[in-house]
Chains A and B, each alone.
Chain A
Amino acid sequence: MSAKSPEARQQRDEPREPWWFTGDRPDPAERMLLLEITTRIVFPTVLVFSVYLLLTGHYRPGGGFSGGLVAGLAFVLHYISGGQRTVGAIARVRPPVLVALGLSVAVLTALAPLLAGAPVLSSTALAADLPVLGHVKVVTSLFLDLGVYLLIVGVVLDLLRTLGAGIERDARAAGERS
């Protein structure tokens, strides 16, 4: 991360982060230039695709589970090319919090119909005409899918943290080459 002093005003086109991952790879020989640059380019696209999968799941193949896995794989790519620290720099939220948030969203979606006097887990379609987007129709079960999405992303990040970085640190501590 580039240290910004308050005096140095950020220019509009100045990158906020260096192009290189400043990950925790101790050995420069372990770094893979091509993979790092590719990840840099592909990562946002994959994330957008995962959100697309989440939203389109209602009508075409996709859904919260697939979308969450795709987003999780984007982070996996990041981990492979840059190590745990770069993943931590992008996903600031702690993985267990994300997992719990996902389950909370799903459960609250399940309970919300009670407020309207409907049975638990019932769903309804909400439609509205928005200024730019035009006619938008949202089915409330999308929020359940959103919960699944968040939870899956959290689980993948947690796996990277435990089985990825945790094992790596173990190996280094034991004096093995990771």
Chain B
Amino acid sequence: MLALVAAHLLVAALLPAVAARSHRAAFVAGAALPGAALLWGLAQAPAALRGGVVQTVAWAPDLDLALTFRLDALSLAMLVLVSGIGALALIYSAWYFEPGSAAATRSSALLLAFAGAMLGLVLADDLLTLYIWWELTSIASFLLVGQSGERRDERRAAVQALLVTVFGGLAMLLGFVLLGEAAGTYRISELLADPPRGPMVGVALVCVLAGAFTKSAQLPFHPWLPAAMVAPTPISAYLHAAAMVKAGVYLVARLSPAFADLALWWVPVVVAGLATMLLGGWRALQETDLKRLLAFGTVSQLGLLMVLFGSGSRTAALAGMAMLLAHGLFKAPLFLAVGIIDHQAGSRDLRELSGVGRAQPWLAATSALAAASMAGLPPLLGFVGKEATFEAFVAQGRWLVALGLLAGTVLTVAYSARFLWGAFASKPDRPRTWTTPAQPGLSVPTALPALAGLALGLAYPLVDSLAQRYASGYPGKDYHLALWHGPGLPLTFSATALLLGLAMHWARDPVSALHRRLRTGLDAQRGYEWVVAGVERFAVVVTGRLQAGSLPGYLGIILATLVLVPGTAVVLGAPMPDDQPLYQHPMQLPLGLVVLVAALTLIRARRRFTAVLLVGLVGYGIGGLFVVHGAPDLALALFLVETLSLIVFVLVLRRLPARFTRFDSARPLQARKALVAVAGGALVAFSAVVFSGARTAAPAASEELLRRAPGQASTTNVVNAILVDFRALDTIGEISVLLIAAAGVASLTLATRFDRRQREHVESGAGAPEHEKEVLG
């Protein structure tokens, strides 16, 4: 399974090269991989339904990290959507994108990479593995929505999608860690077999739900999904209808067998899901952009799926599986059909389109089939799911939920009718929209999932066997998915929803008027903007306070913290050693005197050059002390560094005034600075004495290093052995810091140069070609 996922990502990396020659070849070659994944999944279906196919690849065994994959009934259902719709979306893209456009090159690679990440997500059997794929899909979505980033709405939508889903993702990671630590395992299958309980688990579940809700666009996080509709249509169809937005639902479905009995789990899921279903359906009724209409429909349906998977009964789980498949199979073709209309007619506004159905009867028929499944008409898969949905809550007597779902279904029927009417009907007061028939490359991928919805509706025992396997993890009475259960409340509900929905569509003008009247100030999109702006303002305020630009201020804060926090501990906790010799070596006296005199003179220095020389003198004096103490390596390095920094100081001093600016600052301020400085110095001196007294025996680490150096590192210089062998990773980290520092110095000094001098050519130094040339050398 890892090989399959990795193949997606590897081929995705190669696709831009193929797309440079022929973008169509790139998309079709890309479609081969999800196609192969689908075939593999179907071939493994019997084994997956028996007990699950498991693969574990050690990743970092020392950290107990492994990439674990598992194919079971739920994963199989998701795999059908992810890989099946993925392959169709890629083929559709081959004919959708402009030949040779940058969007085609970018999208081919990103769509395939997304398919790989999504496949990894649905197959992952480890919470941390799942999290990695989860975030990868968020990033793929960001890049696919943002496209070239040239248009403002693309950028805004992409950033909103990323911020919202990654916020949830990070909360989810926190939840995963809490959950994994509480259970003692990160394996999902082991977690489900023996679910942990306790207050920590409650916190974890709330965090996990935050991830699921943001990803699946549940109230109040939903606005990112309609906003993401600026992406090209195949991307919307695949990511934002069939695959990625189902990830949150998938996560709830995955964990529900273990946690659905906890009110902390099912109450938020059912409440948010119902509210989302109603709000999404209601908003869909007023959209005029067909894609946004479908997007709100998706939001609504995701709410329904949340309710089904979160409520924790066996029948609801069966209904959830049916609806999961049905939704992917009807929503993707509807999006793709909108893409065809947009592509052929140049508009997807239902106020402008008229008579498209007469011009494109096949497309209209396909869409009608898909919309009928969405509205829950027999004999389609959507109907099978709806029947089970009503049965689940009616039989349990959860009337409030059942009536909520009925209202949601009424809205679903109404916006399905509105979609068909808006896209295909001939409107008497509009001129006929001129369209040409779509190429087979566009229309076949559109028709296939809609037909699959019909086929699976007729072949409902197939779906039933898959769903039964998943639902066996839930308590509840036996129920089987079927087209005909005989007359009863569920059928009445379905018929009522159909009639009321059609009536609502028929009375669409009064409904729109009501819509306008009910509009309140409460808008989730405005809430999102308010939160983002608030965070930015807060950051500005905090930065303004902390980064005041005063060096004495920074130094003062650092020293004061040092004196207060570790200083207090040292003064209170450590015993003062009683036998302190005045010196260990006679040379310490003159050297110490030099350092002291240099430091004291430094305070009185008026010229910068004098000050730099005195700082150097302090350094050399300390280097001399190192020599006396028998640390030649340290002394050598210190002497060299002191010399170099002295020279660098002098180089910089050329551009600074010769004398320090004389501040006639107030005496209290000077006194305060002196106090902080003296306290800091005194603390360091005092701790040096205390720490030297704390060592009672030769340190074990040093002994060990000395013992090992000749044998393990083949060296007699233990300092060097530490630097390049025992602690070589530290050395690499330190030289990386040096590299960054050198790059920073180059950018800063050379940037200011161009800022100042070449204003007539360049507005800002940092982006200028001359500057770039200089920084690179």
Q: Which of B671-721 contact A (CB under 8 A)?
A: 713-717, 719-720
Tell whether A103 pairs with B648 under 8 Å between CB atoms, given A59-B716, A96-B746: no
Q: A60-B717, A69-B637, A69-B640 are in contact. Are A103 and B735 (CB under 8 A)?
A: yes
**A97 — nearest CB in chain B belongs to which residue?**
B777
Question: Which residues of B sit under 8 angstroms from A61, Cβ to Cβ?
Answer: 632-633, 636, 717, 719
Q: Which residues of A contact B735 (CB under 8 A)?
A: 102-103, 106, 147-148, 151-152
Question: Cβ of A158 < 8 Å from any Cβ of B?
Answer: yes
Docked complex Cα distance between A94 and B746 (Å): 13
Contact partners of A25 in chain B: CB under 8 A: none
- A119 to chain B minimum Cβ distance, whole angstroms, is 10
Is the C-beta of B745 less than 8 angstroms from some C-beta in chain A?
yes
Cβ-neighbour of B742 out of A58, A107, A154, A173 (below 8 A): A154
Which residues of chain A have C-beta atoms less than 8 A from B749's C-beta?
A: 162-163, 166-167
Q: Smallest Cβ distance from B623 to chain A, in angstroms?
A: 12
A66 to B652, CA, bound (A): 23
CB pair A70–B739 under 8 Å, yes or no, is: no
Asked if B732 is an interface residue, CB under 8 A from chain A, the answer is: yes
**Chain B residues positioned under 8 Å from A70 (CB to CB):** 640
- Are the C-beta atoms of A167 and B652 separated by less than 8 Å? yes
CB-CB < 8 A to B724: which residues of A?
Answer: 63-64, 123, 141-142, 144-145, 148
Chain A residues whose CB sits within 8 angstroms of the CB of B351 once the complex forms? none
- The reply to whether B753 and A166 form a contact with Cβ atoms under 8 Å apart is yes
Contact A144 B731 (CB under 8 A): yes
Q: Check A58–B728 contact: CB distance below 8 A.
A: no
A171 at the interface (CB under 8 A from B): yes
- Inside 8 A of B652's CB, which chain A residues have their CB? 163, 167
CB pair A148 B717 closer than 8 Å:
no
Is A73's CB under 8 angstroms from B643's CB? yes
Give chain A nearest CB distance to B277 CB in angstroms: 52
Q: Does A106 contact B731, Cβ atoms closer than 8 Å?
A: yes
Within 8 Å of chain A (Cβ to Cβ): is B132? no
B517 interface hit (Cβ, 8 Å): no
- Contacts of B655 on A, CB cut-off 8 Å? 167, 170-171, 176
The 8 Å CB contact of B644, one of A76, A167, A170, is A76
B732→A106 contact, CB < 8 A: yes
A102 partner residues in chain B, CB cutoff 8 A: 735
CA–CA, A169 and B715, complex, Å: 47
Known contacts A59-B715, A110-B732, A163-B648: does B739 contact A99 (CB below 8 Å)? yes
List, in ascending order, chain A residues with CB within 8 A of B640's CB: 66, 69-70, 73
Q: Is B651 an interface residue when CB atoms closer than 8 A count as contact?
A: yes
Select B647's contact among A76, A95, A123, beta carbons within 8 Å: A76
Report A-chain residues with C-beta under 8 Å of the C-beta of B775.
96
Q: Is B723 an interface residue (CB 8 A)?
A: yes
Complex interface: chain A residues within 8 A of B776 (CB): 94, 96
Per-residue 0/1 for A57-91: is the Cβ within 8 Å of any B Cβ (1 yes, 0 no)? 11111111110011011001000100000000000
Partner of B648, one of A125, A159, A169, A173: A159
> Given A159-B648, A166-B753, is A110 in contact with B728 using a C-beta cutoff of 8 Å?
yes
When chains A and B are docked, how far (Å) is the Cα of A142 from the Cα of B636? 19
> B203 on the interface (CB 8 Å rule)?
no
Q: Kindly state whether residue B743 has any CB partner on chain A within 8 Å.
A: yes
* Interface flag for A51 (CB, 8 Å): no
Q: Beyond the given A57-B717, A106-B735, A141-B713, please list 16 additional residue pairs across the A-B interface where CB-CB is below 8 A.
A: A59-B715, A63-B724, A64-B724, A66-B633, A66-B637, A70-B640, A96-B746, A96-B775, A99-B739, A99-B743, A110-B728, A145-B723, A159-B651, A163-B651, A163-B745, A168-B654
Query: A interface vs B, CB < 8 Å?
Result: 57-66, 69-70, 72-73, 76, 80, 94-97, 99-100, 102-103, 106-107, 110, 121, 123, 125, 137, 139, 141-142, 144-145, 147-148, 151-152, 154-156, 158-164, 166-171, 173, 176, 178
What are some 10 contacts across the A-B interface (CB < 8 A)? Answer: A59-B717, A110-B732, A121-B725, A123-B728, A137-B714, A145-B720, A151-B739, A158-B746, A169-B753, A171-B655
**Interface pairs A-B: 9 shortest CB-CB:** A94-B777, A69-B640, A141-B724, A125-B714, A61-B632, A162-B749, A158-B742, A61-B633, A144-B724
